[in-house]
């Protein structure tokens, strides 16, 4: 492993170093040496990559299409079911945010 000065590296840099060297050295030993919690390293190893912008626009297109096909009747619950049929796992909160950004309001919205 390369020489590290104590104050010159961030925790994120240390975690990246541990992840990149996990085939050569034990994660526990590197965590102890660099004073990083093991759970933090495993959290970063198991974390799903964030959604790329391209996929966000695809989901937005699907939401608009589903909403239009329902003649502006579907809300977040039914749109979520339709998206799951298409193979997209999207939360109702995210669907709601996308609907608000695009001005999509269900006909059955209660005031």
What pLDDT was estimated at residue 55? 78
Kindly list the domain boundaries of the chain, sorted by start residue: 11-46, 53-101
What pLDDT was estimated at residue 51? 60
What pLDDT was estimated at residue 71? 94
Question: 27-34 and 38-46 are packed helices; what angle lies between their axes, rounded to 10 degrees?
Answer: 120
What pLDDT was estimated at residue 63? 96
This prediction has a pTM of 0.53
What pLDDT was estimated at residue 4? 60
107: exposed, middle or buried (C-beta count within 10 Å: 0-12, 13-18, 19+)? exposed
What pLDDT was estimated at residue 79? 96
- DSSP assignments along the chain, one per residue: -----TTT--HHHHHHHHHHTTTTS-HHHHHHHHT--HHHHHHHHHPPPPPPHHHHHHHHHHHHHHHHHTTT---HHHHHHHHHHTT----HHHHHHHHHHTT---TT---
What pLDDT was estimated at residue 19? 93
What pLDDT was estimated at residue 43? 92
Across the chain, which has 111 residues, the per-10-residue mean pLDDT values are: 64 92 95 94 82 79 96 95 94 95 85 60
């Amino acid at each position: 492993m390369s020489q590290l000065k104590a104050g010159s590296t961030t925790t994120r840099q240390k975690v990246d170093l541990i992840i990149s060297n996990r085939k050569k050295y034990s994660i526990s030993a590197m965590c102890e040496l660099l004073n990083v919690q093991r759970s933090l390293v495993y959290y970063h190893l198991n974390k799903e990559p964030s959604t790329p912008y391209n996929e966000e626009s695809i989901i937005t297109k699907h939401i608009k299409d589903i909403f239009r096909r329902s003649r502006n009747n579907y809300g977040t619950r039914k749109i979520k079911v339709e998206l799951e049929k298409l193979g997209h796992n999207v939360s109702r909160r995210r669907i709601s945010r996308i609907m608000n950004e695009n001005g999509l309001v269900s006909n059955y919205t209660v005031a």
